[in-house]
Amino acid sequence: MAKPDKVEAVNEIAERFNTATAAVVTEYRGLSMAQLSELRRALGEGTTYRVAKNTLVKRAAEQSGVEGLDEMFLGPTAIAFIEGEPVDAAKALREFAKSNPALVIKGGYMDGRPISVAEVERIADLDSREVTLGKLAGAMKAKLNEAAAAFAAPASKMARLANALQEKKGE
């Protein structure tokens, strides 16, 4: 019979899988509690970094309909459950892994399918949502300025022509 605390842990992890926009599976072997706390701070408020037993995570994944992650659940496993945009969390994990080689990114789950380590790296290479929206707004403003200049050009040209004719008649 399952112990109530384990059932509760499975239900909590399954709920995290259901509500998260993405999850990144890591191995944390060799990291101290201080380093894990530093990683949690680096991930920010929108990400929960959860250390769990592999059997519990497998059951929770099965319960929430997440498939294809079983081969990632070997060794000490911790999962970063990301709510919102995954770019910032992926960048934080990659940067932390660079300075702390004991953190190993194994892969993840996003948009209903497992993702590889390379895909997590590509997500980390993307600009954040805010930066992308800023670039889009700048590009749109530039096009609007070009259009305004194009619409004003005939009137401006006509005014210069009328001014030149008036000066010629004045001579």
Supply the mean pLDDT for the chain.
86
Q: Rounded to an integer, what distance in angstroms lies between the CA atom of residue 48 and that of residue 97? A: 17
Helices (H) and strands (E) in the chain, counts: 6, 5
Note the pLDDT of residue 1.
44
Q: pLDDT band for 147, please (50, 70, 90 cuts).
A: confident
Contact present, 57 and 79 (Cβ < 8 Å) = yes
Reported as type and span, the H/E element at residue 51 is strand 47-52
| Topology of the domain comprising 4-126 | Alpha-Beta Plaits (3.30.70)
Q: What is the DSSP string of 18-34?
A: HH-SEEEEEE-TT--HH
* pLDDT greater than 90 at residue 136: no
Per-residue pLDDT, averaged over 45-74, amounts to 88
**pTM: predicted TM-score of the whole model, two decimal places:** 0.73
> What's the pLDDT tens digit per position in 105-125?
999 999 889 999 899 888 888
Note the pLDDT of residue 106.
92
Question: From the centroid of its chain, how far is CA 133?
Answer: 14
Q: Tell me the percentage of the chain whose pLDDT exceeds 90.
A: 20
Note the pLDDT of residue 82.
92
Which range, 46-55, 131-140, 160-169, has the best average confidence (pLDDT)?
46-55
